[in-house]
Amino acid sequence: MERVIELHSENINNNILKLIDRTIKQYGGSYRIIKINFEDPDQDKVYIKLAVEAEGDKFEQIRRILTKTKDKAVQTHETTILKPSLKDATAPPDFYSTSNHPTEVFIRGEWLQVKNIRMDALLVLRDGEIYATQLRNIKRGDLIVCTSAGVRVKPGEQNEGSGEFAFMTNEVSSERHVELEVRE
């Protein structure tokens, strides 16, 4: 499967093109350059859009290497994978499950903020917006975000005294056991 990666580099002199070629070939992938634009030739800024074909784990390794170059300005923006739900309350097996942190999805060349973010939800594209939706609310034909390609999460600031399990201190949380008492 071919996926798109966009790279923005502040310094073309760091041999970014050689790095791309060597890395993709090293992991048995292939690529084609869709677009290359020298954004500011005086400052060596360059934008490169690639179509990369590599098997699942190999693609992830390629993506990791390209984002960990010495040039901190190199970023990838992958095309988001959207698949339709085949029936109500179901999702493709590779759907992306959300966290409770602010999340954005790369759609049609721009980052869209996820609406109604919540823990353990699916991301659904509706009317040009991305919504965090519980599985039980998925309808046949809904376009579901699959894999983490094109998804970025922005971890929130933790308040003093709140730990990594602070979300479980709420009165109601799907992450902890709540006992109910039924009286007749």
Number of residues that this document lists for the chain: 184
pTM: 0.55
Q: What CATH class is the domain 81-157? A: mainly beta
SS3 track for the chain: CEEEEEEEECCHHHCHHHHHHHHHHHCCCEEEEEEEEEEEHHHCEEEEEEEEECCHHHHHHHHHHHHCCCCCCCCCCCCCEEEECCCCCCCCCCECECCCCCEEEEECCEEEECECCCCCCEEEEECCEEEEECHHHCCCCCEEEECCCCEEECCCCCCCCCCCCHHHHCCCCCCCCCCCCCCC
The pair of structure tokens assigned to 168 is: 């479980």
pLDDT of 150: 84
Q: Which tens digits make up the pLDDT trace of 11-62?
A: 666 678 888 899 999 999 999 998 888 776 666 777 888 888 888 788 878 8
| pLDDT interval class at 73 (50, 70, 90) | very low
The domain spans of the chain are: 2-67, 81-157
Among candidate residues 8, 80, 20, 84, the one with its CA nearest the CA of residue 44: 8
Measured CA to CA, the distance from residue 102 to residue 67 in angstroms comes to 21
Q: Which pLDDT tens digit goes with each residue over 83-92?
A: 999 999 999 9
Query: Options 3.30.70.2690, 3.40.47.10, 3.40.190.10, 3.90.950.20; which CATH number does 2-67 get?
Result: 3.30.70.2690
